[in-house]
Each structure stands twice: as C-alpha cells, then as structure tokens.
Amino acid sequence: MNNKITPIIIAFLATVSISLNAQNRELVNDTLSMSPAYAMDVFYSMADGEVASVAREGWDIAFYTNAFSAGIIINEGNGTQLYSYPNSDTAGWATFDTVGMTSWKSLSNSNESWEDGAFNKNATGHPDYGWGIYNPVTHGLTGDSLYLINVPGVGFKKLWMVDKVSVDNIYHIRYADVDGSNEMNVELALKPYVSKNFAYYSLAKDELLDREPDTDWDILFTKYIDLTPDNEGNMVEYLVTGATGNINRYANKFYPVAADYNDWSAKPFDSLKNTIGYDWKSFDMSTFSWVVDDSTAFFVMNQAGDVYKLVFTYWEGSSSGVFALQKELVQASFINDNIADASILSIYPNPATDVLNIKAEKRLSGNLTISDISGRVVFNEYIVDADFITVNISNLTKGLYSISIDDSKSHNSGKFIVK
C-alpha cells in the first residue's frame, strides 16, 4: 500500500498557506529518551514536543477503537508472538494442540498500516478480515480462526476472537492454557477508549489499559517489526527501533540533501506508518557506536496542516535510549482540515479496496459525495432516510479521498484511503 498526497494538493496548500521566510523560522533541538533497552514508547508532537512516555510492557493485544473496524495488533515490540492454528477452525477449540508448531505461520503487524494488525494478516478481503467474517446484517464480525499466542511472563495460550458486536463496540474473546485449563471468556467494551487509536489488553491481568494519549501527537518512537535487508539483500522481517507516524499524519523523505534543504513540496507525502522508519541511523562496527545520517531530511504534516522539517542528529543506543532531533516549522497553513475530523460517520474498512461501508449515528437524506484530494467529485448519489450505505469503490485509484453527506440540517464528512 502506498497512500500519497499528490502534488495537486501540495500546490493547493502552497497557495493558501503562509510562506515562512528564513528569519521567521525557529530551529528547535529536542533531546528525548526511550530509556535503557528502549523500554518506553515516546509519543511526540511536532508542535509541542514530547506528549507522553509510556512503558511498552504490560499489554499483549490492542484493538483499533473505531466501532466498525476489525483491526487487532499484538505487542511485538515487547516480544509477543502470534501463530495461526493450521489444524482446524474454531470447531477445534477443545482438541487444540501444538504438535508441529515449529512450522506454523508466525504473524506480525503490518509495517505500513496501524489498523492491519497481526490478527488481520490472513485477511483475504471483505468480508474476511483475518480473524473473523463480517456479517452484512448485523455489521458485526464472527471469529472463524484459532491462534496460539506467546506472551512474555505468561507463556503460551490458545486464543479465539469470538466476535465483535460492532454497534456496541464490544469484543468477546476466549483464551486458555493449551491443555484447556485456566480458561477465560472476556467481554471488552471499547467505547470508553474511542478518543484513542487503540484500547490495550493484558492477558495476565485480564484488564483493558488506557496507555495512549489522545490523538494530538504525530510520531511514536517505539520498537516494531519492519522489513530489513539481510546479508544477501533479501528483505526480511526484523524487530527495529524507530519512528512510526500517527494514523492520518503525512510525511515524506529526502535523501541525500544538504543541511539547508527545505523544498518539502518536491515529493508527495504519504500516510504510511513507517515513512520515517528506522534506517536514518546505522551501527558502525569500527567505532562500535551509532551513526545518524546527516544527509536525510523528513517533512511532517501535522493534524492542522502545518509542515515541519525533521532531522535526526544523535542516537546513543540501548544503553540509555537517548536520541536527539532538530525541527523547524517550514510551512504554516491557514487550513484547519482536521483529517481525523469528528463526524457522525463511521467509515470502514479503512483503508479499503473494493467496498466501502458508511454508518451514520442517525438517519440521513441528502447528497453523498466522494471527492479525491484535488476536489474532483468521483462519486455522487442521493440517499433517502438511510443510516447505512455501501458503495462500490473498486474503480477508484489508490489514494486519499473525502466523503460527505449533506442534508438540510447538517454536513457530515470523513476521510478514507483506497489501497
């Protein structure tokens, strides 16, 4: 998936935004720490600096909080491992065993999309979301797969995502020791966490955790699995430490460039989780120290539409987890296009490929319009007294789109990505 803001919108931003001349730019140097062994997750705002520093341990599974999402991730940064059970569907719960598990498929979170978690790895497309099947009548999901999960400090458990009651934003899950002992049947209500991207769950404590700040942050410094080249140049999955972008934030990368490079509009932005990533640093075996590439620059667009230049200047390593960066505001926008805007519309799946579902909190009548990022209308339909609409988007190209429903009393809008 490669979700991009094309040069059309960049030109538009340049037209309506404030150009900052050199004397008005302020360079800010920030020193941060993920603590020894990179034990902390650091949430960072381009405008305000560090928002929160939270221990990475203590949770095992996290659920994307949108009521009509099926996204479930694992805490791979803390060593949690997930395997598909190949011997049966959910009918094999009572006879679950680990014979031959060395050949089972290990699942990891997507390195590009937060919503595509390890539990979604085997998804084949709507209505199959990996761990469960979407029901077009109830708009919920029913679990059809079994898993083996290995949790640090807990050990191996068999696990079944039983269902999701989407209208109530409630999951039911079931887990036990492999031999069936210590079984837990748990109901997880996500509504209290909808201002966050994820609600985090600990199997050891049987507890939902509120560990994430609200969405006013741009970058999470953490450990995650990404693709890295091996000695033969093949791309393999590997646990890395780096910078991951918040959902619905945009960034681009320029390499090699001089220290004074500021032409942020020369390349499209994208919304991938790992655009900033980890490989702006490398380990020098001759000096046994980390080296930060001084010819790499990133530009990050925050939620308000402001563009910041980001350059990393120091990385000490796992002994302290200390690192440093330099940032400057290079384009301040008049636009307050809150990409994650509040709306009564729930849009899923997001990203989407062929079918888009729109669920409203009340019945609406009016024009349903889908536009691309240049403002060109690509779909228009008049709806009458509806609170659930399905749209075929298979003819849309990859990218970012806006959707709106305008009736006589309200304007309702949202964003989605076609992958």
Report domain extents, the chain: 29-49+221-259+271-331, 61-209, 345-418
The residues that bridge with 334 in the sheet, in sequence order, are: none
Residue 297 pLDDT: 98
Give the span between the Cα atoms of 185 and 387, in whole angstroms: 32
362 vs 258, more confident = 258
Asked whether 387 and 363 are in contact (CB, 8 A), the reply is: yes
18 pLDDT tier (thresholds 50, 70, 90):
very low
Please check the confidence at residue 165 and state whether its pLDDT lies above 60. Answer: yes
Please check the confidence at residue 1 and state whether its pLDDT lies above 80. Answer: no
Please check the confidence at residue 295 and state whether its pLDDT lies above 80. Answer: yes
Q: Quick one: which of 351, 359, 395 has its CA closest to 129?
A: 351
Please check the confidence at residue 269 and state whether its pLDDT lies above 90. Answer: no
User: Could you tell me the fold of the domain covering 345-418?
Assistant: Immunoglobulin-like (2.60.40)
The residues that bridge with 270 in the sheet, in sequence order, are: 4, 251
Percent of the chain at pLDDT > 90 equals 69
- What is the C-alpha end-to-end distance of the chain, expressed in Å? 5
pLDDT tens, 105-140?
Answer: 899 999 999 999 999 999 999 999 999 999 999 999
Please check the confidence at residue 331 and state whether its pLDDT lies above 50. Answer: yes
